[in-house]
Amino acid sequence: MAFHRQGNPFFRHGDTTRWIALDEKDRTVGRIAAFYDQARDAGDQVKTGGCGFFESIDDQMAAHLLFDAARDWLREKGYDAMIGPVNFGTNDTNWGCLVHGFVPQGVGMTYNLPYYRNLFESYGFRLYYRQFSFHMDLDKPFPERFWKIAEWIRQREGYTFKHFDPAQTERFVEDTVTIYNQAWKPLKEDFSPMEPASLYDELKKIRPIMDPELIWFAYFKHEPIAFFLFLPDANQIFRHLNGKLHLINKMRFLYYKKLNCMTRIRGMVAGVVPKFQNSGVESGIFWQLKQVMERKPHYKQFELSWVGDFNPKMISLYMATGAYHAKTHHTYKYLFDRDRPFKRYMEEAVDPRKLPDHA
């Protein structure tokens, strides 16, 4: 869907192209896509495009030729840098180069072999920010203090919690956009507001695997203040389908889904408006999820949505749940002018004391 012009709303203000690399025997040895999103340009200190959907054999020459193609195309479009490997769309999927935690990945998370890190860094890409993923085994109890906060916030007057209802999609889309745009604007120096159209597009794609009871919203006096969106890990079914989604495999997908084969859930995105951060509302949402898990015991493990090293508050929250650091991805940046000073993404917000192991 990322390259479908009618299906991807980012084509309204961006464009993309793709290449493959062939060896001397015309065998495919790599691929890459480059893209830009003009809606993000205003927030960039250095006008930056992206590259992603990258695959390559362990060969620097092949990889570097692909990076050259992406760089040259973006330069022709007026860009001065590129980040990668990223997605031509939202950053909850296909984002970052895996450098720690080489285990089967949940839905939307990229997997690559360890040598990919060297392919990027040998070309001249530099670390822009780190993305940490935390896992929670549901057979292990949450810290008692966490539930005390959850119980306190649930009983406070004015707070209510609701899970997603497909019959009220329009309302929940509006609430998500309202929360996200308030929550993330202070955290991202290149912030681009969430568009309802892109969210409707995402909901259309995830509807076959969505469990409405895994998407929760918090309200204070009926105003939306927080949301957490989790999805069952469809990769646990897709591995049985040999990469094909024809009619028979669609039927097989429904069969496996009915068997409750998806035992993991992954947090895709979350947000808490600044006024209510650290208020305990996050614990209140996890309390609601706990009730769901007790009714649906086939869910065994949480993967929390990745959190950037520039977001120490969320790192602290995840650690407070008893979750453990499972994976690290790197988002890299490459400046076309090699003499231009390099600046890490929101480096002043990074708190080394809050970073997990293998950071």
User: Residue 335 domain-assigned?
Assistant: no
Among 89, 117, 133, which residue terminates a domain?
Answer: 133
Asked whether residue 61 falls in the same domain as residue 185, the answer is: no
Q: Are residues 61 and 187 in the same domain?
A: no
Q: Look at residue 21 and tell me if it is in a domain.
A: yes
Identify the band that residue 176 occupies on the pLDDT scale cut at 50, 70 and 90: very high
Q: Taking CA 70 as the corner, what is the angle to CA 65 and CA 74, rounded to the nearest 5 degrees?
A: 145
For residue 148, the model assigns a pLDDT of 80
* Residue 99, pLDDT score: 96
Same domain, 197 and 82: no
> Is 173 part of a structural domain of the chain?
yes
Q: Domain for residue 273, yes or no?
A: yes
CATH number of the domain bearing residue 97? 3.40.630
**Per-residue pLDDT at 188 exceeds 80:** no
Residue 1 pLDDT class (50, 70, 90 cuts): low
127 and 147 share one domain: no
What's the whole-number mean pLDDT along residues 42-65?
Answer: 91
Q: What does the pLDDT read at residue 37?
A: 87
Number of domains in the chain: 2
Same domain membership, residue 83 and residue 107: yes
Asked whether residue 161 falls in the same domain as residue 217, the answer is yes
- Considering the domain architecture, whether residues 48 and 79 belong to the same structural domain is answered as yes
pLDDT value for 27: 94
Q: What is the mean pLDDT of the chain?
A: 88
Q: Which of 113, 133, 153 is the last residue of a domain?
A: 133
Lowest mean pLDDT segment, chosen from 106-110, 187-191, 200-204, 253-257: 187-191
pLDDT level of residue 189 (50, 70, 90 thresholds): low
Task: Establish if 345 belongs to a structural domain.
Answer: no
What is the rounded average pLDDT of the residues 285-313?
86
In a domain, 285, yes or no: yes
Domain of residue 209, residue span? 140-299
- In this model, does residue 42 exceed pLDDT 80? no
Q: Do 173 and 34 lie in a common domain?
A: no
* pLDDT for the residue numbered 149: 80
Instruction: Say if residue 119 is in the same domain as residue 151.
Output: no
Residue 305 resides in a domain: no
Tens of pLDDT, residues 223-238? 999 999 999 988 888 8
pLDDT at position 359:
66
Same domain for 115 and 28: yes
Residues 149 and 268 grouped into a single domain? yes
Task: Identify any residues that bridge with 18 across adjacent strands, giving them in sequence order.
Answer: 33
Residues 290, 152 within the same domain: yes
The pLDDT value given to residue 65: 97
Average pLDDT rounded to a whole number, residues 290-314: 86
Residue 208 has pLDDT above 90, yes or no: no
What is the spatial distance between Cα 77 and Cα 75, in angstroms, rounded to a whole number? 5
Considering only residues 176 and 138, tell me which one the structure prediction assigns the higher pLDDT.
Answer: 176
H-assigned helices in the chain: 60-76, 116-123, 144-155, 169-184, 196-206, 235-238, 247-258, 281-295, 312-320
pLDDT reading at 150 higher than 90: no
121-131 pLDDT per residue, tens: 999 999 999 99
- The set of residues, in sequence order, having a beta carbon less than 8 Å from that of 19 and lying 6+ positions away, is 31, 32, 33, 66, 69, 70
Which of 98, 133, 168 finishes a domain?
Answer: 133
Positive or negative torsion for Cα 166, 195, 269, 240: positive
**166 within a domain of the structure (yes/no):** yes
CATH no. for residue 182? 3.40.630.30
Phi, psi of 87 (to 5 degrees): -115, 150
Q: In the predicted model, what is the mean pLDDT of residues 326-342?
A: 95
